[in-house]
Chain A
Amino acid sequence: MELIDLTLIWIGIIGLGVFMYVLMDGFDLGVGILFPFAPDEEARDTMMNTVAPVWDGNETWLILGGAGLLAAFPLVYAVFLPALYIGVFLLLAGLIFRGVAFEFRFKANRSKYLWNWSFFGGSLVASFAQGAVVGAYIQGFEVDGFTYVGGPLDWLTPFTVMTGLALVCGYTLLGATWLILKTEGALQTWAYSVARWMLGAVMLFFAIISIWTPLAEARVLDRWLGNIEWLWIFPLVTLGAAAWLWQAIEKRREGIPFIATLTLFITFYAGLLISMWPLAVPPEHTFWDAASAPESQLFLLLGVLFITPVILGYTAWTYWVFRGKVRAGEGYH
């Protein structure tokens, strides 16, 4: 073992990158999923304007995730992508359609409805595919040594469909609470009612996954019934955050619902990592099996340590520039 465990540092960096992506692209994907259900066309314009300035920065984290996995955990990259081949294609196609919808919708007159559907469909498919990826990770991959040997649709099971739907609901909750934060009037009132329903759906999925996963995967059951009692803090915090969110919605608070939802996502994410640790490519390979050569991890780490603070600074600055409520008729014309 080296003096410093580079692999552990890289788990932290990639974990943070993936989480940044989930939170940041999560709410703008959620806004896309809510799109056809919005009260009217003017509300749709406002909804899109709340995420238009920041969504492309959000999506850059996905590219960083892809390249970073190749650099730090090439086994994950080389097993997940072939195993999820069809799903990855759907994810990419979804992201392309919703990405250009942002731009083309505001230039269109007669064809505006097409870009509405493109935005909704792309967001929905991309969110579902991401949720299915999480499910496939829990479920594990059939490998021979360091090569995926399973079939093209092994990832598509009732369990992954369920996790796909769960993430769709989760992103929708993020999107709804984001709209509570960024809008006002009738649109905000609508977002409150959506958030309440979506909180119910998310907690239902939380319950289902919490029961289903340990029953399906013995290693997960062992982890939670093992001798590390403090792990149970996380589900307790989850329930606390859900209650906090519910109360904030009831009291018509504007900022807390979004923050409470972020807290919920943090606990879900922590619960996932606890259940899976230290497996990177279940059921066989740990993060240490999946790691690239130490010299490669070190070479990239030196750059990332200097550059990441700059990136985070820019991101924070962008959100600062676009702070405050977005009103109807603002932004795009």
Chain B
Amino acid sequence: MELDPLLLSRIQFAFVVSFHALFPVFTIGLAAYIATLEGLFYRTENPVYARLSRFWTRIFAVIFGMGVVSGIVMAFQFGTNWSAFSYASANFLGPVLSYEVVTAFFLEATFLGVLLFGRDKVPKGVHLFAACMVALGTFISSFWILSANSWMQTPAGIEMRDGLIYVTSWSEAIFNPSLWPRFFHMALASFLTAGFVVAGVSAWYLLRGRAPEINRKALGMTVVLLAFIAPAQLVVGDLHGLNTFEHQPEKVAAMEGAWETKQGAPLILFAIPSAANERNYLEIAIPNAASLILTHDLQGEVPGLKEWAPEDRPPVGWVFWSFRVMVAIGLLMIAVAAVGLVQRLRGRLFDSPRLLRVFTWMIPLPFVAVLAGWFVTDIGRQPWVIHGIMRTSEAVTPSLTGWMALFSLIGFIAVYAVIFAAGLYYLVRLIQAGPEALEGTPEASEGRPKRPFSAVDTSFDDGAAPEGVRR
């Protein structure tokens, strides 16, 4: 059997990066939420905020830990599987990724310890400052990594000499054309993810009548936030799409499922695109709507995929369907957040078990939407690793054999399955134990602060012991 190292490397990269992406997208938003809670507690002295912050900080610790462990792998993936790409682009990507380490990772690490364990050891103001620094660190980190990704989508500020990339303008390269739309789209996605998780978990407690005071506060706050950012994400997403239309029109053509260049292009709601036959089957479309969205003109021209040679087109099916999944979830989020806001304004938010259940069911959806969004943008970049400059097929490590790639792919899947099953089990236990488990057990008596996970006292596998009981 012939094993293709390129295909296996792509599967492996997609697997490890998708797995990793789940964690930071949650912690970026959650860090900001915790900083907000700490700020409110600092100003109002209302203990509800402190209790909420205490509980969510523990969840944060576990997710952050899993993000760190899966992130170490990423730092070496570029070299092991994509050494040709790494070598060619090192003059830009090396400094950018290094800046991420020194400006973000150390900031997070420094203040995370104070945030997790310092509540009773440092003054309240210092604790609030630590929470803000952790949130800032997560944003700085996403700035650098999104700069790197955006540069691969819309390269700028560089020139190629003898197959290597040289930076001619650092500001143009770092602040490349797609950075800001992507950054704000991702930042809002992080807020939406954290917001829907907080709302869903709070609703789950309220359905069971557990810790109603703090969970009502959490759900009430979050619903208002979501009602603003869910529609805002639609606007930012549209701006991001227009940016892509300008710089990577073939990606938009794949997202739209457009084969022919048309004036007055229809917006396709459903279709089964066939790359082999260069057409769609079972198409349901709104006439002229794609032109209206993309060009703000009913008769505007939208290029079709046939403008590009077949070897220069992204895989249509993946991009087309991922885009629809993302948009559908986005619209559902807007609807749920709007209903939540209306019910809150009517003072009925906590009365309807059905609505609370809907919020609970929403928990996994933002994660799916985020992955779908990344599928759109990074599969849509294919066949390029650096758009228009270097093909993915040229990026792979020359010495890599199919068997080596298969070995590491199976290895990573096995390792992640074990580690993350354990982590997820632990997280579920932590949520089941609930905020009540923290009441009346001041951490101050716990001795010295240790590590992120040790902020969490729930026993890992003592199924028989009462929830939240310490040993």
In the complex, residue of chain A having the shortest beta-carbon distance to the beta carbon of B92: A296
* A146 and B95 alpha carbons, distance in the complex (Å): 20
In the complex, residue of chain B having the shortest beta-carbon distance to the beta carbon of A330: B447
Taking a contact as CB atoms under 8 Å apart, the answer to whether B99 and A300 are in contact is: yes
**Segment from B177-185, B262-270, B328-336, B457-465 that makes contact with A:** B457-465
Known contacts A67-B100, A108-B461, A330-B447; is-contact A77 B79 (Cβ 8 Å): yes
User: Could you say which of A66, A67, A100, A333 contacts B69, with CB atoms under 8 Å apart?
Assistant: A100
Nearest chain A CB to B456 CB, angstrom units: 7
Known contacts A78-B87, A147-B398, A308-B102; is-contact A299 B450 (Cβ 8 Å): no
* A15 and B241 alpha carbons, distance in the complex (Å): 45
User: Could you say which of B97, B105, B423 contacts A100, with CB atoms under 8 Å apart?
Assistant: B423
Taking a contact as CB atoms under 8 Å apart, the answer to whether A74 and B87 are in contact is: yes
Nearest chain B CB to A77 CB, angstrom units: 5
* A300 and B170 alpha carbons, distance in the complex (Å): 11
Taking a contact as CB atoms under 8 Å apart, the answer to whether A64 and B102 are in contact is: yes
For A53, list chain B residues within 8 Å (CB).
448-451
Interface of A is mostly: helix
Taking a contact as CB atoms under 8 Å apart, the answer to whether A333 and B106 are in contact is: no
Residue A218 CB within 8 A of the other chain: no
Taking a contact as CB atoms under 8 Å apart, the answer to whether A67 and B407 are in contact is: no
Taking a contact as CB atoms under 8 Å apart, the answer to whether B94 and A85 are in contact is: no
Taking a contact as CB atoms under 8 Å apart, the answer to whether A148 and B398 are in contact is: yes
* A88 and B397 alpha carbons, distance in the complex (Å): 14
Over the window 403-433 of chain B, the binary record of Cβ atoms lying under 8 Å from chain A Cβ atoms (1 yes, 0 no) is: 1100110011001000100110010000000
Over the window 145-184 of chain B, the binary record of Cβ atoms lying under 8 Å from chain A Cβ atoms (1 yes, 0 no) is: 0000000000000000000101100100000000000000
* A308 and B90 alpha carbons, distance in the complex (Å): 21
Taking a contact as CB atoms under 8 Å apart, the answer to whether A82 and B80 are in contact is: yes
Taking a contact as CB atoms under 8 Å apart, the answer to whether B90 and A103 are in contact is: no
Residue A109 CB within 8 A of the other chain: yes
User: Could you say which of A70, A89, A107, A304 contacts B93, with CB atoms under 8 Å apart?
Assistant: A70
Residue A11 CB within 8 A of the other chain: no
Over the window 48-90 of chain B, the binary record of Cβ atoms lying under 8 Å from chain A Cβ atoms (1 yes, 0 no) is: 0000000000000000010011011101101110011011001
Residue B103 CB within 8 A of the other chain: yes
Interface centre among A149, A308, A331 (most CB of B within 10 A): A331
Taking a contact as CB atoms under 8 Å apart, the answer to whether B98 and A64 are in contact is: yes
* A86 and B470 alpha carbons, distance in the complex (Å): 42
Q: Which residues 309-333 in A have Cβ within 8 Å of B in the complex?
A: 310-311, 314, 318, 321-322, 330-333
Residue A104 CB within 8 A of the other chain: yes
In the complex, residue of chain B having the shortest beta-carbon distance to the beta carbon of A149: B399
Q: Which residues 202-244 in A have Cβ within 8 Å of B in the complex?
A: none
Taking a contact as CB atoms under 8 Å apart, the answer to whether B83 and A109 are in contact is: no
* A68 and B99 alpha carbons, distance in the complex (Å): 9
Residue A254 CB within 8 A of the other chain: no
* A68 and B397 alpha carbons, distance in the complex (Å): 20
Residue A110 CB within 8 A of the other chain: yes
Residue B257 CB within 8 A of the other chain: no
User: Could you say which of B72, B167, B404, B460 contacts A92, with CB atoms under 8 Å apart?
Assistant: B72
In the complex, residue of chain A having the shortest beta-carbon distance to the beta carbon of B105: A60
Residue B400 CB within 8 A of the other chain: yes
Known contacts A96-B419, A332-B454; is-contact A70 B399 (Cβ 8 Å): no
Taking a contact as CB atoms under 8 Å apart, the answer to whether B97 and A67 are in contact is: yes
Taking a contact as CB atoms under 8 Å apart, the answer to whether B400 and A322 are in contact is: no
For A75, list chain B residues within 8 Å (CB).
87
In the complex, residue of chain A having the shortest beta-carbon distance to the beta carbon of B168: A295
Nearest chain A CB to B282 CB, angstrom units: 44
Q: State the interface size on chain A (CB cutoff 8 A).
A: 74
Taking a contact as CB atoms under 8 Å apart, the answer to whether B167 and A102 are in contact is: no
Taking a contact as CB atoms under 8 Å apart, the answer to whether B83 and A148 are in contact is: yes
For B92, list chain A residues within 8 Å (CB).
296
Over the window 166-210 of chain B, the binary record of Cβ atoms lying under 8 Å from chain A Cβ atoms (1 yes, 0 no) is: 110010000000000000000000000000000000000000000
Residue B261 CB within 8 A of the other chain: no
In the complex, residue of chain A having the shortest beta-carbon distance to the beta carbon of B445: A333
Taking a contact as CB atoms under 8 Å apart, the answer to whether A296 and B167 are in contact is: yes
For B100, list chain A residues within 8 Å (CB).
67
Residue A134 CB within 8 A of the other chain: no
Residue B380 CB within 8 A of the other chain: no
Over the window 345-387 of chain B, the binary record of Cβ atoms lying under 8 Å from chain A Cβ atoms (1 yes, 0 no) is: 0000000000000000000000000000000000000000000
Residue A186 CB within 8 A of the other chain: no
User: Could you say which of B106, B397, B401, B404 contacts A310, with CB atoms under 8 Å apart?
Assistant: B106
Over the window 93-111 of chain A, the binary record of Cβ atoms lying under 8 Å from chain B Cβ atoms (1 yes, 0 no) is: 1011101101110111111
For A71, list chain B residues within 8 Å (CB).
90, 94-95, 97-98
For B76, list chain A residues within 8 Å (CB).
66, 81, 88, 92
Taking a contact as CB atoms under 8 Å apart, the answer to whether B460 and A107 are in contact is: yes
* A311 and B104 alpha carbons, distance in the complex (Å): 11
Taking a contact as CB atoms under 8 Å apart, the answer to whether A63 and B398 are in contact is: no
* A149 and B397 alpha carbons, distance in the complex (Å): 10
For A272, list chain B residues within 8 Å (CB).
none
For B73, list chain A residues within 8 Å (CB).
92, 96
Taking a contact as CB atoms under 8 Å apart, the answer to whether A67 and B459 are in contact is: no
In the complex, residue of chain A having the shortest beta-carbon distance to the beta carbon of B465: A109
Nearest chain B CB to A314 CB, angstrom units: 5
Query: Apart from A70-B93, A78-B83, A106-B454, what 11 extra A-B contacts exist at CB < 8 Å?
Result: A53-B449, A63-B71, A70-B94, A82-B83, A97-B415, A147-B83, A314-B106, A318-B113, A331-B450, A332-B450, A333-B457
Task: In the A-B complex, list the 3 residue pairs whose CB atoms are closest, starting with the nearest.
Answer: A71-B94, A81-B79, A74-B90
21 contacts between A and B (CB under 8 A): A52-B454, A63-B72, A66-B76, A70-B78, A74-B87, A78-B79, A78-B87, A81-B80, A82-B80, A83-B399, A88-B79, A89-B407, A99-B69, A106-B454, A109-B460, A109-B462, A292-B94, A296-B167, A299-B167, A300-B98, A304-B102
